[in-house]
Amino acid sequence: MQKYLYLFRGGDARMAEMSPAEVEAHMDEWRVWMEGLAEKGQLIDGLPLKAEGKQVSKGGSVVTDGPFAEGAEIVGGYLMVNATSLEEATEMSKGCPILDAEDGHIEVRGIADM
């Protein structure tokens, strides 16, 4: 098995428009999807990210507030998963609830061994 990283982008605008009951139902969809990965031994770790942050550049001499990407480009969370190939990891990602959002997408990347 190899390790892969899912970077989740988008979906925030949709969440902001949901009622509390809709948010709860949506979070249940995430829970069910992640439990399915865990039951198959595919889920390693994953969490949502907070909106605030810092960017560090120019050898550490410049520190600015926030992620300055467009809304749909901001990384909102991640998962690490086990899969036999990039193709399998990509196929596994297709059940993720973020893909129900018009601007929701997942970047699937292999994690290099060090």
pLDDT the model gives residue 33: 98
Residues 31/23, Cβ–Cβ less than 8 Å: no
Alpha helices in 1-114 (DSSP H): 12-17, 20-39, 86-93
Question: What tens digit of pLDDT does each residue of 7-16 get?
Answer: 999 887 777 8
Q: Which token pair is 93?
A: 């990602």
Residue 52 pLDDT > 80, yes or no? yes
Question: What tens digit of pLDDT does each residue of 80-98 get?
Answer: 999 999 999 999 999 999 9
Which CATH superfamily includes the segment(s) 2-110?
Dimeric alpha+beta barrel (3.30.70.1060)
Residues 68/55, Cβ–Cβ less than 8 Å: yes
Beta strands in the chain (DSSP E): 2-9, 43-48, 54-57, 62-65, 75-83, 105-110
* Domains of the chain, residue spans: 2-110
Q: Could you tell me the pTM of the whole model?
A: 0.87
pLDDT band at 66 (very low <50, low <70, confident <90, very high): confident
